[in-house]
Structure formats: C-alpha cells, structure tokens
Structure 1
Amino acid sequence: MPSAANVKIDKQVNQENALAESSQNLTPIRQAITIIEHKIRNLEKRKTKLESYKELQNTGKELNPDQKQAVAKFGEVLNTLDFARDLCKQFLGIASTTEKEAKKLAKKEAALKYQAELARLREILLVQDALNQMGNEAVRDDFLHGKNGAAQLTEADLKLLDDFYPAVTPKHEAGNATTFTNEVQSAAEHLLAAVDGKPKEVFGGTYSQIKEILGKIHESGYFDQAQVRFLQPLEKVCFLDSFLFL
C-alpha cells in the first residue's frame, strides 16, 4: 500500500508535469505569468496559514518556535504577495498589448500572402489565356506581322509558345490516373516557373523568355481589340436580320 508521503510526492510531480506541458503552448511572457500566478497561490496559502497561527495566538494559545518564527514573517509574506500581484498585473498588460499587436501583424501578413497568391493565380490565368488564344491561325498571323494592334513576334517566339503549351496542358490517359497526376504536377511547375520568369532553359529557350513573350502579347491589348473587331460584323448581321423581318 503506498504511503501518504509517496502519494504527496506523486501528486506534486503530476502537477509540475501538467504545468510544464501547458507552458509549452504559451508565449514566453505567458509562461512567466503562469509561474508568477503559481507563486501567488503559494503565498496566499502561506498567508492563510499564518493568519490561522495569529488567530490562535490572539486566543492565548502558545505557539511552538517554528510557528512563532513563521508568524514573525507575516509582514514579509504580505509585501511579497503584493509585489507578486502587482508584477503579474503589469505582465498581463504587456501580454495583452503584445498579443493584440501580434494578431494585427498576423492579419496583415495573411492579407499580403493572399494578395501575393491572388497575383500569381492571375498571372497563371493570363498565361493560359494567351496560350489558348495563340492557337488561332488568324491571331498568330497578326502577331507574326505585328498588325491589327498585335505586338511583333518572331517565328522563334511562336515556336517556344507552341512547345510550352502541351507541357502546361495535362491530359487524361484512360486507365492511368498516376500519369495525369504527374502531368498536373509538371504543368504546375512549368507555369510557376514561367510566372516567376526563371532563367532556367526549357524548350530551346528560357522561362524568362516565355514570360517576356506573354507580357508583350497582353500588353498589346490585342485580344480586347479583337473582341470588338469580331463583334462588330456580327452586330451588323443581327441588325440586317431584324430589318428584313420587319
């Protein structure tokens, strides 16, 4: 049967372990506050015990030497307790301010990260749009000759885009899901490298060249002009059809 002393020691060890585990999840200043709060609780217990000795002394009961020595330190215990409480209050204020600032900083960093991710996604969509549009022969001819508002590109520029396009367009292969997953991973790496404009060589050129070519395409505003240009004849046809049916 375990002795009372062993039970007390085990209880103390368990409390210390629980305190250590909880402290691991706290900031340094919160750990300090936890230690001070633990000290305050011990001082309050000691104060209560000394008050009971004083009450016994006031009733005329004779205290033993250890109890008398403890009562003599009553004022010291009160001063230490007041100091610990004041220190804990100050630390709590510092912790509260620090945590508020940390939350603001984390919120700001999250917003910046979101904007950065959004910008990268926008760039990827622009890359995919340009590659899809350049499959049109009329569009390719305009860019090759720099007409109708298109930027001037060379045959080498178009070939680099033609070679790049399949690499960023993963395709399903019947009965082989792993191949598609690998192609998606590879396509993502190619797209991000192009968006970042890495100087790494690829398809007879570099990612930075691909980014430069795609930049020329979008900066020309050709596709927006093409939309208007292609819509105008259609609008005229619709108007004539309506007129004929009047």
Structure 2
Amino acid sequence: MSYQNLAGRTVVVTGAASGIGEAVAVRLAAEGARVALLARRAERLEAIAGKIRAGGGEALAVVADVTDDASVEAAAARVREAYGTVDLVVNNAGVMLPNPIDEGRIDEWQRMLDTNVTGVLRIIRAFTGDLVRAAEEGRTADLVNISSIGAHVTNFTNYAVYGATKAAVTHLSALLRTEFGPRDVRVTNIEPGLTETELSTHIDSEELSGQLDGMVEAIGTLAAEEIADVVGYVASRPRHVNLRQIMVLPTRQA
C-alpha cells in the first residue's frame, strides 16, 4: 500500500541500523520523505542510506548514541543543517536484556533505562522545537514512540525491567499528548508483539534465549516491514487525526 501525505516530510529515525528502525527509514524514504538515520554503527548506516539513495530516495546517515547528551545534540544539529526543520520523529532505539531480578544486574538495568527511557527523552528534547515549529507553520508534525506489548503483559518471566522501561514509554506517550496535542503535534505510541529484530541477540542466557525461540516457533513473528507499514499509516493520516496508541501482534499471540 502506498500512502499519501508523506512526500516532502523530514524524518528522524533512531535505531535505524537494523530491524524496525531500518524498515521504517526505507519505507518512509520510498514514500518521498527525507530521512535521517540515527544509530551507532556508521558502516551499517551508510549501507542503508546508500540503498535508499540508489532507489531514488533521500537519506542521511548520522552516527549517534541516544545514551549520550552531546551525541544527540550534535546529531540534531547535523540533521537540521542538511534538511532543516524535522516534522516526524520515530523513537525506535531500544535494548532488551532479560534476566531474573535476583541476579541484580544493575549494569543491564542501567543500560535499558538509559536507552529505552532516557534515550527517548533525549531525542524528544532535541526535536521538540522542530515539531512545534512545523505545526505552527501548518505542517503535519508527529512524534512516534515504539514501545512494546511488554509494557502490558506479565507472563514474560524475567523481563520485568525491560517491561517496566516500555511501560514508561507508553505512559510518557499518553501524558505528552496533553502537552503536544494543544500545539497540533501528534503523539503516537506503537506496541509491537513478537517481531523479527536484533533484540533477541542481546540475550546472554541460553535458557532465556531458548524460551524466546520456543515462543517464536509456536506463535510466529511480525516482520519489521509490517511495523514500518503501521508507522507509515499513522504518519499519513490527515493532520487533525491522531492515532494515539496501536498494538500490533502476530495473530497467534494472546
């Protein structure tokens, strides 16, 4: 499906080096948007941006670490220098590190909090002015946060901290609508279920990795491109329509 109203949009996608972020960047560029791809892996970013440009799209690879204030600010300046005011931000960067809580893995907790929660806030801080300015100019302005079904379900044993970080993103998205909505900036929270991404490669426990593989075998997964399709749909609605929250699950996932 091709979407109207995306051509000419100026987009930032975090976590764009793989998975959902890559798929979103490729899809929005194919619809005519100028897309800035943010992630830490320079080589991978350049390859994806090159693929987009080879297909006739506009793409900018920007190396950025959402856990670092200076890195995010520098990335925002680079994007504005190249493309001007941003009117669509897709907060996708995230990390999933499940382990039993009694292992006390503070290093993992901190990494998830700093990436999944504070990283989202850093990006919002960096581009709020852009989104508000775009809306004031009569343009469509969108903040899209990629959360997870893990924000709600409680049967993913050993995923407590990850789920808590995603619950924070979901609640943050809802509360931000009270600040951004009156200024005509839309906020959308998307919560994917099991999706084929690199998140599973972050797991360092063979037992937990095996459990996840078992769920995938029994339930199946969504493709990253299917989540990108949802992002494209959300961002292409008429300016006065805000799809506030969308859960996207494989049919067999409860």
Please indicate, yes or no, whether the TM-score normalized by the shorter chain is above 0.5.
no
Q: Which has the larger helix fraction?
A: 1
Q: Which has the larger strand fraction?
A: 2
TM-score by length of 1: 0.23
TM-score by length of 2: 0.22
Which protein is bigger by CA-based radius of gyration?
A: 1
